[in-house]
């Protein structure tokens, strides 16, 4: 492989605790009880508006732009206090970078908080390109952000792997007709064997030799 594109939440970083904290602050503003971690993890994967919609729907409430704005404000003010890279991520990125492999991030998280988190976790230095959920007019599972990310890298489809954790990521890779490595951790409800993938891993130490070939 010459290029690797990673999803962010649930793939490189365990961000659910900070998303849960922001979501519960938003819910509290409407007099709604907090949601537990398992519930929030099940709601992650399609961007902030969808996360807010799912949180409010859990209480039979409609989504609103006000609620989305509240969520973005709470999360933007404190996006990585509880967020950590998954075990083995840094070693994997170091090894791939040392091997001369181009690295990028393609996430449905808006670009500004994505960059803030990568900076705060000292991960920015590994990536040549970062595409957020607001970089293009569409977001994953539409293939445009992933294909646009590859275009920015100058990457060749035949020599690029997409790495993600969720149903959204699997469908994005399928829609882009790309090789897909599936992280069995992260945020997902569907069993791994039911998702299209070319490589399944539960440890980033196993991903590194696969990507280096």
Residue 102's pLDDT band (boundaries 50, 70, 90)? very high
Q: Is the pLDDT of residue 46 over 90?
A: no
Cα 182 to Cα 90, 200, 201: the distances in Å are: 18, 5, 6
Question: What are the tokens at 88?
Answer: 């083995």
What is the pLDDT averaged over residues 16-24?
97
**Angstrom distance (rounded) from CA 213 to CA 188:** 27
Enumerate domains of the chain plus CATH numbers. 3-14+83-212 (3.40.50.1000), 16-77 (1.10.150.240)
- Which pTM was predicted? 0.95
Whether 151 is catalytic: no
Contact predicate 205/88, CB 8 Å: yes
Taking only the tens place, the pLDDT of each residue in 105-136 is 999 999 999 999 999 999 999 999 999 999 99
Q: Which two tokens stand for residue 79?
A: 């996006």
User: How far apart, in whole angstroms, are the C-alpha atoms of residue 164 and residue 182?
Assistant: 5
Q: CB atoms < 10 A from the CB of 127, how many? A: 20
Asked whether residue 13 carries a pLDDT value surpassing 90, the answer given is yes
Which entry of 7, 9, 18, 165 is annotated as an active-site residue?
Answer: 7
What b/e string do you get for 63-95 counting C-beta neighbours within 10 Å, with b at 16 or more?
Answer: eeeebbebbbebbeeebbeebebbeebbebbeb
Q: Which helix (H) or strand (E) holds 29?
A: none
Q: How far apart are CA 39 and CA 151, in angstroms?
A: 35
Sign of torsion over alpha carbons 131, 91, 123, 114: positive
Q: How confident is the model at residue 196 (pLDDT cuts 50, 70, 90)?
A: very high
DSSP codes joined into one string, 108-141 = SS-HHHHHHHHHHTT-GGG-SEEE-TTTSSS-TT
For 172, phi then psi, to 5°, come to -60, -50
Structure confidence at residue 117 (pLDDT)? 97
């Amino acid at each position: 492989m010459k290029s690797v594109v990673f999803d962010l939440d649930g793939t490189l970083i365990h961000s659910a605790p900070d998303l849960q904290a922001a979501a519960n602050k938003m819910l509290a503003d409407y007099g709604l009880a907090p949601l537990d971690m398992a519930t929030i993890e099940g709601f992650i994967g399609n961007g902030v508006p969808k996360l807010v919609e799912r949180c409010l729907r859990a209480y039979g409430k409609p989504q609103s732009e006000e609620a989305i704005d509240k969520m973005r404000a709470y999360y933007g003010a404190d996006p990585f206090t509880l967020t950590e890279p998954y075990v083995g991520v840094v070693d994997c990125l170091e090894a791939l970078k040392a091997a001369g492999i181009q690295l990028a991030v393609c996430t449905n998280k808006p670009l500004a908080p994505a960059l803030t988190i990568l900076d705060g976790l000292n991960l920015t230095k590994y990536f040549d390109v970062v595409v957020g959920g607001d970089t293009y007019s569409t977001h994953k599972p539409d293939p445009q952000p992933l294909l646009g990310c590859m275009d920015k890298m100058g990457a060749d489809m035949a020599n690029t792997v997409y790495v993600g954790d969720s149903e959204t990521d699997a469908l994005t890779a399928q829609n882009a007709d790309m090789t897909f490595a599936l992280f069995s951790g992260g945020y997902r409800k569907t069993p791994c064997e039911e998702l299209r993938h070319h490589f399944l891993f539960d440890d980033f130490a196993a991903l590194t030799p696969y990507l280096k070939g």
